[in-house]
Amino acid sequence: MSTPEKEVLVFSNKFHHHSYGPSHPLKVERLRLTMDLIGEYGIFDTSSPPWVEAREAGEQDVTLIHSPEYLEILKTANSGRAPSQAWKYGLGSGDNPLFPGLYDWSLLVTGATLECIRQILNENREIAFNIAGGLHHAMQSRASGFCYLNDPAIGIAKMVQDGLRVVYLDVDVHHGDGVEAAFYNTDRVLTVSLHQHGHTLFPGTGFPDDIGQGPGRGYAVNVPLAPGTDDDLYIWVFMELVPPLVHAFDPDILVTQLGVDTLATDPLASLNLTTNGFSRIVREIKSWGLKWVALGGGGYNVMNVARAWTKAWAIMKGVEIPDTLPRDFVSKHRTELGQNLTLSDRPYKINGAIADSARQMASSVVTKIKETVFPLLGA
């Protein structure tokens, strides 16, 4: 019998039974595109089946973060019809539509994240990746930002309950507000979020002065970045702050939210990264050698998602793949791909004044965090 691979994907074809609706920015089909591209490159697990099947989370797990009252509302909303006072729970807005199976979807995404954790802790895996996960905005009793259940927070809460120390690193373009809120008062979890500045983007939070409170003071780190921030500037900020903080905290396990709505061609935000910059971040994270639960996140240009997360999976597996997209994938998806037939992107040029403003903000934020947070963590 072959030895299990050290890296594993957790997935389910049942994800595709669900849809936020034809006009909603979050397209569930991006998951299938990603898995198709991974398959075309031949970088699934060599054993059979090629991924570990996700199963729905149990209620005892989701109540670690979410209130029983809110869960009852989600159960009612699972029919696709509005429960009483749906608005009070963030449901039925353009961001958080009511659709048949929304609770089933959320339990399955959360269950996939919990399975990633089980694979790491019980099956001796080094890296487990749930591309459907990373729904980081949901609050204790409220849906927010396309998220109904907060799968990263639920998974982390379960690990904290088991006595583990966790770093949560969020590189989505939006502030990881729901996860931060869940652990704002504890020193068992270090939350680090790099995101577009809250004055310019949803959810309007995540400023450098927000560093946790009580026992958690210094254990929340927020790195807001200006519109126009490009690969080189982002990576400079990342390297100045994140490795020293992670190494100072010395976690038992790392959880990352790898949203790719930071890319320049994403329709919902204004950072200026490419798949090349994203890949450099993933390589750096892997180099730390930590037990690693990787989650998906945002990404609203579906081909950006497929290309970036395929590249991320190749890096996690330690395999080199051609930059040119496989011929069969291109012929199947020529319309969506347009001219972009490689995994890598050309850097995008921006106005000099915008670049100067982005550099000034980045420098200011790095200095502030080094002055306020580093001494608290001994970084």
Position 1 pLDDT exceeds 60: no
Asked whether 119 and 13 are in contact (CB, 8 A), the reply is no
Provide the residue type at 97 as one letter.
P
Residue 157 lies in a domain: yes
pLDDT at residue 4 tops 80:
no
Catalytic member of 66, 137, 174, 175: 175
pLDDT in tens, 27-82: 999 999 999 999 999 998 777 788 999 999 999 999 999 999 999 999 999 998 88
Residue 360 domain boundaries:
7-377
Percentage of the chain beyond pLDDT 70 is: 99
DSSP letters spanning 60-113: HHHTTTS-HHHHHHHHHHTTSSPPTTGGGGTTTSSSS---TTHHHHHHHHHHHH
Q: What pLDDT band is residue 139 in, cutting at 50, 70 and 90? A: very high
Report the 3 state secondary structure along 114-156: HHHHHHHHHCCCCEEEECCCCCCCCECCECECCECCCHHHHHH
Cα–Cα dist 61/39, whole Å: 32
User: Is there a domain that residue 147 lies in?
Assistant: yes
What is the tens place of the pLDDT at every residue in 344-364?
998 877 778 888 999 999 999
Residue 373 lies in a domain: yes
Would you say residue 295 lies in a domain? Answer: yes
Query: What is the per-residue pLDDT for 346?
Result: 83
Name the average pLDDT for the chain: 95
pLDDT in tens, 72-109: 999 999 998 888 889 999 999 889 999 999 999 999 99
Q: What pLDDT is stored for residue 359 in this prediction?
A: 95
Evaluate whether residue 292 is within a structural domain: yes
Is 379:373 a contact under the CB 8 Å cutoff? Answer: yes
Number of compact structural domains in the chain: 1
The CB density around residue 227, as the number of other CB atoms within 10 Å, is 17
Q: Is residue 2 part of a domain?
A: no
CATH number, position 187: 3.40.800.20
Q: How far apart are the first and last CA of the chain?
A: 44
Mean pLDDT of 231-258: 98
Relative orientation angle of helices 231-249 and 352-372, to the nearest 10 degrees: 10
Q: Considering the entire predicted model, what is its pTM?
A: 0.97
pLDDT of residue 213: 97
Please confirm, yes or no, whether 175 is among the known catalytic residues: yes
pLDDT of residue 2: 57
Q: Which residues contact 27 (CB under 8 A, 6 or more apart)?
A: 20, 300, 302
| CA distance linking residue 145 with residue 95, whole number of Å | 6
Kindly report whether the peptide bond that precedes residue 244 is cis, defined as omega within 30 degrees of 0.
no
* The total number of residues written for the chain in this structure: 379
Is residue 177 one of the residues assigned to a domain? yes
**Rounded mean pLDDT, 9-20:** 97
